[in-house]
Amino acid sequence: MSPHHISSSFDDELNSLRSKIVKMSNLVEEQYKNALIAMQNKDQELADKVRETDRLVDQMDMEIEKQAIQMIALRSPVADDLRDIVSTIKISAGLERIGDYAKNLAKRVKVLSHGKTISVSSRFIDQMIKQIREMITDVIDAYITRDIDKAIEVWRRDEEVDNLYNNLFREMLAYMMKEPQNIALATHLLFIAKNIERAGDHATNIAELVYYINEGELLALKRPKDDSSNYTVIEPNSENL
Amino acid sequence: MENTSKAMIKARNVNVYYDDNHAIKNVDLDISSGTVTALIGPSGCGKSTFLRCINRMNDSIPSCRITGSITLDGQDIYDKTIDVVQLRARVGMVFQKPNPFPKSIYDNVAYGPRIHGFARNSAELDEIVFTSLQKSGLWDEVKDRLDTSGTALSGGQQQRLCIARTIAVNPEVILMDEPCSALDPIATAIIEELIEELRSRFAIVIVTHSMQQAARVSQKTAFFYLGEILEFGDTSEIFTNPKVEKTKDYITGRYG
Ligand SMILES: Nc1ncnc2c1ncn2[C@@H]1O[C@H](COP(=O)(O)OP(=O)(O)OP(=O)(O)O)[C@@H](O)[C@H]1O
Ligand SMILES: [Mg+2]
């Protein structure tokens, strides 16, 4: 950790910004935990709670942005302080988006509760949510402890989320062809998975920001980006069925 | 004297001593025309000492001894054949405290051109005074009172008068030692704007304690620490991503 600033109130402000990010990430992580339980148990009340939490998350994002702008105006930060504060605004915005996707999952609990359960897809979704929760926790941990190895590790993990999504996508296509009467339900599940996949992308961006704060350079590694669902085509007679 | 716009100062292995006090240690620095170079660093690290070496203002300090070499356009400025008065016309200096002569505004600006014989007649001298005041952004404010005393101007105006006086002798390099430290934000902004305009014609070296000012006006920054240059590079890089820990601690206000 770098030595302290001569102005201790500046250190206090930086710490308060950081603890707000931690608090916000805890809320977002909880949104995913509850969204999953709500989907599994078709629990509308819990789903509503996820949506309420989202309002808190939005509010925190605005608070963080306001405080960061104030610090830029009053402290004129430079070097890693400047990178830290500007990136924190973007991290907060990223968490806010990740929270939005959780809200989206919660919205679909109502539809899900009318349909039957598709067991394969729920297994994938369970795993995706587990992954995203860990990514959120670990990337914010990396942000607080300034641990770039951990940030890179989270960044690489996005591949797993993408793979889960691609697998689920193929399953769903096959399922829809087999049981066209359940296309509506399958489509909802697809959207759910897509939302989690997008959340993973935002967590990955946060990992890149953590790297930038520490190194002053952009993460130059190439992400094994592979959302093959963009190109997946299944013919009715193909072997996938 | 011809003003070659490619004025270039090269300092090599410069060491400065005040008796036993080793104030500047092995400093190498290139200063290019068209560039503002900022010297930053904690109090007492040798910024003013180094600046004074560039136009031999240290010559008048008996305890001061300088080794190494400083060249201007390839010519060693400490060479015996160098006329120091001529040198100071080529390498002008603006100080922290505006120090106009207790003379009229006109005579303050005309002083240098007169002693260097730059004007053949009074019309030419008028022209030099006019363009210098114009370039320093003071003309409109003083054109109706050129015969009043320079010391009767406001601090910011006095500083611009000193800049006009410096550029009146058509220098190649302008050295500025905390030129805005006694000025309010408006006067500071005017001087900074002036520095930006002058940059195309001169090489400018500015010592400043305001990190924001260094970041705003300069293209190159040298960080001095205990008489050494610890880091030199593009200002944009130094202020976003300094490579040396000590530089970072200094500009971000941390305990080193
Ligand atoms: N005229 C002098 N006689 C003797 N020692 C001097 C003289 N001028 C400066 N020094 C010494 O040289 C060292 C560098 O001083 P200098 O004035 O160059 O620092 P500086 O970086 O300009 O500091 P500041 O930011 O406070 O103006 C100091 O140790 C100072 O005491
Ligand atoms: Mg000084």
Residue B76: CATH number of its domain: 3.40.50.300
B251 touches chain A (CB under 8 A): yes
Search chain A and give the residue with CA nearest B215. Answer: A78
Which residues from chain B sit within 8 angstroms of residue A13, using beta carbons? none
Q: How far is CA A226 from CA A134, A167, A209, A222, B92, in A?
A: 21, 12, 21, 12, 62
Please say if the pLDDT value at position A3 is more than 80: no
Find residue B160's DSSP bridge partners.
none
For atom 30 of ligand 1, the residue with the nearest CA is B44
Between helices B185-198 and B155-167, what is the axis angle to 10°?
A: 10
B256 touches chain A (CB under 8 A): yes
Beta-strand pair B21-32/B8-18:
antiparallel
- pLDDT of res. B7: 45
Identify which of B212, B242, B256 has the shortest CB distance to residue A79: B242
CA distance B142 to B120: 24
**Reported pTM:** 0.83
Domain range for residue A206? 8-231
CA distance B194 to B196: 5
Which of B14, B16, B17, B18 has the most ligand 1 atoms within 8 A of CB, as the residue to mutate?
Answer: B18
CB A58 within 8 A of CB A96: yes
Confidence of residue A119 (pLDDT cuts 50, 70, 90): low
Which residues from chain A sit within 8 angstroms of residue B242, using beta carbons? 79
B236 touches chain A (CB under 8 A): no
- pLDDT of res. A234: 53
Residue A168: CATH number of its domain: 1.20.58.220
CA distance A101 to A95: 10
CA distance A239 to A176: 15
**SS3 call for B254:** strand
Please say if the pLDDT value at position B168 is more than 90: yes
DSSP-assigned letters across all residues of A109-172: HHHHHHS---HHHHHHHHHHHHHHHHHHHHHHHHHHHT-HHHHHHHHHHHHHHHHHHHHHHHHH
How many residues does the structure list for chain B? 256
CA distance B109 to B143: 13
Please say if the pLDDT value at position B255 is more than 70: yes
Please say if the pLDDT value at position A149 is more than 80: yes
Distance B52 CA to ligand 1 centre (A): 11
Please say if the pLDDT value at position A66 is more than 60: yes
Q: Which of residues 153-212 of B touch A (CB under 8 A)?
A: 211-212
Please say if the pLDDT value at position A229 is more than 70: no
Element (H, E) at B32: strand B21-32
- pLDDT of res. B39: 98
> Mean pLDDT, to the nearest integer, of B221-243?
96
Pull the structure tokens for residue A127: 């795993």
Beta-strand pair B203-207/B173-177:
parallel
Domain range for residue B164? 4-251
Confidence of residue A223 (pLDDT cuts 50, 70, 90): low
| Window from A49-53, A198-202, B4-8, B42-46 with minimum mean pLDDT | B4-8
CA distance B60 to B77: 15
- pLDDT of res. B1: 39
Domain assignment present for B256: no
Domain assignment present for B158: yes
User: Which residues does a 6 A CB cutoff place in the pocket of ligand 1?
Assistant: B 18, 21, 23, 41, 43-49, 61, 63
Domain assignment present for A240: no
Q: Is the confidence metric ipTM above 0.85 for this complex?
A: no
Which of B14, B39, B48, B59 has the most ligand 1 atoms within 8 A of CB, as the residue to mutate?
Answer: B48
> Mean pLDDT, to the nearest integer, of A127-141?
97
Where is pLDDT greater, at A211 or B7? Answer: A211
Domain assignment present for A226: yes
> Mean pLDDT, to the nearest integer, of B192-210?
92
CA distance B167 to B133: 9
Domain assignment present for A222: yes
Confidence of residue A117 (pLDDT cuts 50, 70, 90): low
Q: How many separate domains does chain A show?
A: 1
- pLDDT of res. B185: 87
Q: How many separate domains does chain B show?
A: 1
State the residue for tokens 């689920």: A168
Domain assignment present for B18: yes
Query: Is B254 in contact with A2 (Cβ distance < 8 A)?
Result: yes
Domain assignment present for A238: no
Task: Report the range out of B80-89, B177-186, B223-232 with the highest average pLDDT.
Answer: B223-232
Query: For chain A, what is the largest distance between any 2 Cα atoms, rounded to a whole number of angstroms?
Result: 71
Query: Is B255 in contact with A216 (Cβ distance < 8 A)?
Result: no
Distance B175 CA to ligand 2 centre (A): 12
Confidence of residue A24 (pLDDT cuts 50, 70, 90): very high
Pull the structure tokens for residue B157: 């105006």
Distance B47 CA to ligand 1 centre (A): 8
CB B75 within 8 A of CB B82: yes
Pull the structure tokens for residue A187: 């489509």
For atom 14 of ligand 1, the residue with the nearest CA is B46
B43 touches chain A (CB under 8 A): no
- pLDDT of res. A131: 96
Identify which of B248, B251, B255 has the shortest CB distance to residue A4: B255
- pLDDT of res. A237: 45
- Averaged pLDDT of chain A: 89
Query: Is A2 in contact with B249 (Cβ distance < 8 A)?
Result: yes
> Mean pLDDT, to the nearest integer, of B96-102?
92
Confidence of residue B2 (pLDDT cuts 50, 70, 90): very low
Long-range contact list for B252-255, CB < 8 A, 24+ apart? B252/A5, B252/A77, B252/A78, B252/A79, B252/A80, B252/A81, B253/A5, B253/A6, B253/A7, B253/A10, B254/A2, B254/A3, B254/A4, B254/A5, B254/A6, B255/A3, B255/A4, B255/A5, B255/A6
Domain assignment present for A139: yes
Domain assignment present for B100: yes
Confidence of residue A2 (pLDDT cuts 50, 70, 90): low
- pLDDT of res. B137: 87
Please say if the pLDDT value at position B171 is more than 70: yes
Residues with Cβ within 8 Å of residue A140, at least 6 apart in sequence = A21, A22, A25, A206
Please say if the pLDDT value at position B238 is more than 50: yes
Domain assignment present for A143: yes
- pLDDT of res. A233: 56
